[in-house]
Amino acid sequence: MRDIIYWILCAFLTVAIAIVSLRYVTNFWLLSFVYSFQVHLGVVFVAASLIILAIKRQIYGFVLLLASLLLVVHGVIMLREFSEGDRGTDRQPLFRLMSFNIAIDNWKNSTEITDMVIASNADVVNLLEAKPLTFHLQQLFKAYPYHIGCDAGKDTCDTLVLSKRPFVSRQVASMGSLRKNRLVMASVSFGGETINLVSAHLTKPYFDDFQMAELEDLGKALGSIDGPLVLSGDFNSSAIAPSIQALLREQKLKTITPEPATWPIGAGALGIAIDHIFARAPLHLTSLKRLEDNLGSNHSGLIADFVLDKGGETSSTK
């Protein structure tokens, strides 16, 4: 009986490891979201391997344990690939940015979200699925005189970018063919330096191959931008997903790792980061934190501070 249980468990675990390991062979869209959980699943596989070895110590159980450990270790290594170096957190930031998917049906918390945004001390705020803030826009516009989005009523209020400073440039575009106007590209001057700000809201990766098309369009848009750049928003995928990794490598984007987990809310710090804030040199993050309260959203928001390198020196003039 022990032999039967042992081999049944080995078979199930072998299939599970093989599915996750397909990322090294193909970036199949149906498994893209699974790839985001590589580290988490690897830990589960390690535990399962130990249970198998407790039932019966045979060589195949040790092979499964080794494969599981490799998934975990390589997952951590891949995440650290996009890590910022030490930029001196004691320096005054050039500006602060908040990014938060507030959830399109989160009407009952709209007042609290509005108050939180105003009290955040963020210079720029990137709000996704912003329709619940329809009746608080004038209050937000008093605190943030410059905005992109939500100009034509709640039916077009999806991405809303708020700024305390005027936009040097602004553009709203679409990625892929599934949803419209979920790419906002703007620039703002801080301390005499023009910073490019890009907001993106990607489709879930298991919605056919729509996200792949969106990432292609996003990559083209980012490639056309010169100078310091911030990319923030809801990617619905971890930075460990192969398609996201490809974008980050191509565009030379970095973040602070480990990134704060933003989803699922119930998992807290044990979740994964599917909402991101990235920077491209000479701009660098010095702080990346999760907002203390998700205020009814199914995502956690993020707030980040930035510094700018100029000829080897980090700008701290605001």
Angle between helices 2-21 and 59-80 (to 10 degrees): 30
Output the six-digit token pair for 205. Answer: 């990766």
**Whether pLDDT at 318 is above 80:** no
Reported as half-sphere exposure (CB side, CA atoms, 13 A), residue 261 has a value of 14
Strand partners, 160: 127
Q: Are 64 and 14 in contact (CB under 8 A)?
A: yes
**Whether pLDDT at 188 is above 80:** yes
Virtual CA dihedral for 209, 125, 273, 236, nearest 10 degrees?
A: -20
Domains, in order of start, for the chain: 1-81 (no CATH), 95-308 (3.60.10.10)
CA 60 to chain centre: 37
Distance CA 158, CA 148 (A): 10
Given pLDDT bands bounded at 50, 70 and 90, which one contains residue 14?
very high
Q: Are 135 and 110 in contact (CB under 8 A)?
A: yes
**Whether pLDDT at 317 is above 70:** no
Per-residue model confidence (pLDDT) at position 316: 41
Given pLDDT bands bounded at 50, 70 and 90, which one contains residue 7?
very high
**189 φ/ψ angles, rounded to the nearest 5 degrees:** -95, 125
Rg (CA), the chain: 21
Distance CA 53, CA 65 (A): 9
